[in-house]
Amino acid sequence: MGEMEQMKKEAEALKTQIEAARKAVGDTDMASAASGVAPAPRVQLKTRRTLKGHLAKIYAMHWSTDNNLSSLSSIGVFRLMVSASQDGKLLIWDSHSGNKVNAVPLKSSWVMTCAYAPSGNLVASGGLDNMCTVYNLKTPVIKTVKELDAHTGYLSCARFLSDTEILTSSGDTTCALWDLETGKQKTVFLNHVGDCMCLSLSPDMNTFVSGACDSLAKLWDIRDGQCKQTFQGHTSDINAISFYPSANAIITGSDDCTCKMYDLRADQEVISYQDAALNSGVTSLALSMSGRLIFAGYDDFNCNIWDSLKGEKVGVLSGHDNRVSCTGVPEDGMCVCTGSWDSFLKIWN
């Protein structure tokens, strides 16, 4: 038997082995296990702020962390967020007053992602220019500090680990960890066979998960660069992904109109969030502080709220006049922000 034939046989045998191992521990599913849990209350959130200022579709937003609270507002502290639009700007907003604090003009207007560093000192953006550009917000005039240029496809997502390291995902099917001092890739994460669309860092920052157009989610070890686990089940591009706050599960959102929870220790899908009436793709998702609520943005202009344990829809955020492209819940869990192709951001609680 040729080596190729041998490899194919071994690959098939390993796939069968993995399926059998998953089945062996698949003694129930999340919804059944949670049948005795009290339902989450009906969630009715109001729009508290509508942030107007972008002139074109908003593609991404990201909240600043608890490290970067400011005490300029009358109420004591307020929280900043960054948004990115194909009008060619990043805007930094004071979410409490709804005012714009900073505007960063972009070299390329085809932006797909933005990120706030945990320190609050830096923001990043990237898109069809295939680059991740990092800006310093704290210099007297906002400066570009690095242009990270090595991906051969669009930049779909970026997340800072610190002021010296950033993770990116790309349409070139790879993810990469960059050193911000040298501007070079430290580690390249190779295994997806479709455009990487999203990534989420684990709370302890030792691992991250990525979602791609190959309909797979993958768990990676940041330090050794290896793919440790692969999660199947979606039947189309995965556009959104997030770690559950407990760090033992992940939630994904896909063009197949469903969201799914995969448990990392059981190595399989444990619940799917779907509804026969819903036939729009999921663009974005964010979790409430306890993880109980999933806020998922859809192409149909709404953001649906799911009970993560029971799989039931418990609310909806309606108000945008176009696709919801991004969602985010800040670290203190006090609100949810939605951003849309209608050029507005809304803050709800």
326 forms part of the interface with another protein (CB under 8 A): no
Of 92 and 176, which has the nearer Cβ to another protein? 92
User: Could you give phi then psi for residue 108, rounded to 5 degrees?
Assistant: -115, 130
Among 309, 317, 324, 326, binds another protein (CB under 8 A): 309
7 forms part of the interface with another protein (CB under 8 A): yes
Question: By rule CB under 8 A, what count of residues binds another protein?
Answer: 76
Q: Where are the alpha helices (DSSP H) in 114-201?
A: none
229 forms part of the interface with another protein (CB under 8 A): yes
Question: How many Cα atoms are found within 13 Å in the side-chain-facing hemisphere of 96?
Answer: 13
Residue 252 Cβ vs another protein, minimum distance, rounded to whole Å: 16
86 forms part of the interface with another protein (CB under 8 A): no
The window from 133-141, 161-169, 199-207, 328-336 that contacts another protein (CB under 8 A) reads 328-336
The partner residues of 209 in beta bridges, in order of sequence, read 200, 219
Question: How many Cα atoms are found within 13 Å in the side-chain-facing hemisphere of 161?
Answer: 19
Among 52, 107, 184, 223, binds another protein (CB under 8 A): 52
3 forms part of the interface with another protein (CB under 8 A): yes
**Cβ contact 132:140 at 8 Å:** no
Of 99 and 279, which has the nearer Cβ to another protein? 99
Show contacts with another protein in window 117-176 (CB under 8 A).
none
Q: How far does CA 77 lie from the centroid of its chain?
A: 26
Element (H, E) at 302: none
The window from 118-126, 153-161, 234-242, 259-267 that contacts another protein (CB under 8 A) reads 259-267
Residue 74 Cβ vs another protein, minimum distance, rounded to whole Å: 10
What would the two tokens of residue 80 be?
A: 């900043």
Among 215, 254, 308, 340, binds another protein (CB under 8 A): 308
43 forms part of the interface with another protein (CB under 8 A): yes
Of 141 and 276, which has the nearer Cβ to another protein? 141
The Cα 226–Cα 289 span in angstroms is 29
Collect contacts of 171-176 with beta carbons under 8 A, ≥24 apart. Answer: 171/195, 171/196, 172/130, 173/212, 175/199, 175/208, 175/210, 175/220, 176/150, 176/151
Of 102 and 121, which has the nearer Cβ to another protein? 102
* Contacts of 184 by beta carbon, 8 Å cutoff, 6+ apart: 150, 178
Could you tell me the end-to-end alpha-carbon distance of the chain, in angstroms, rounded to an integer? 64
Residue 22 Cβ vs another protein, minimum distance, rounded to whole Å: 7
Residue 105 Cβ vs another protein, minimum distance, rounded to whole Å: 15
